[in-house]
């Protein structure tokens, strides 16, 4: 395990649910984001279940050929900046479900 892995694990182990934002999102055929108001907590734990999705962070709408691929079962700790910029669309025949929890 390298130094960067240790730093990430330390951040994850120190992050605790903040109670500010705990939100679910159905990800379908239209581009959607989690929140209308930006999250202020330093981190957000995000999961994707039920289907694969695409996500963009540059203000463009994701499509099935544009955006980063996140597979069904994805789980990761994101910075608030990354989370606040994210727009999702499903990349499968079925809808996906996203869940986000603010972590402080």
pLDDT, tens digit (0-9, with 9 covering 90-100), for 15-51: 665 555 678 899 999 999 987 666 778 888 999 999 9
The CATH number of the structural domain formed by 3-103 is: 2.60.120.770
Classify residue 92 by its DSSP letter: S
Strands (E), the chain: 17-27, 43-49, 53-56, 68-70, 75-79, 87-90, 96-103
Domain layout of the chain by residue ranges: 3-103
pLDDT, tens digit (0-9, with 9 covering 90-100), for 49-102: 999 999 999 999 999 899 999 999 999 999 989 999 999 999 999 999 999 988
Q: Which ranges of the chain does DSSP label H, i.e. alpha helix?
A: 3-14, 80-85
pLDDT of residue 40: 78
pTM: predicted TM-score of the whole model, two decimal places: 0.79
What is d(CA 90, CA 104) in angstroms, rounded to the nearest whole number?
A: 29
What is d(CA 104, CA 97) in angstroms, rounded to the nearest whole number?
A: 23
């Amino acid at each position: 395990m390298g130094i960067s892995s240790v730093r990430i694990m330390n951040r994850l182990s120190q992050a605790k649910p903040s109670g500010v934002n705990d939100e679910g999102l159905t990800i379908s055929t239209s581009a959607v984001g989690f929140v209308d108001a930006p999250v202020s907590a330093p981190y957000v734990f995000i999961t994707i279940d039920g289907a694969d999705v695409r996500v963009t962070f540059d203000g463009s709408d994701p499509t099935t050929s544009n955006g980063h691929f996140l597979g069904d079962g994805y789980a990761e700790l994101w910075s608030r900046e990354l989370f606040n910029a994210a727009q999702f669309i499903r990349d499968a025949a079925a809808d996906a479900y996203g869940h986000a929890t603010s972590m402080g």
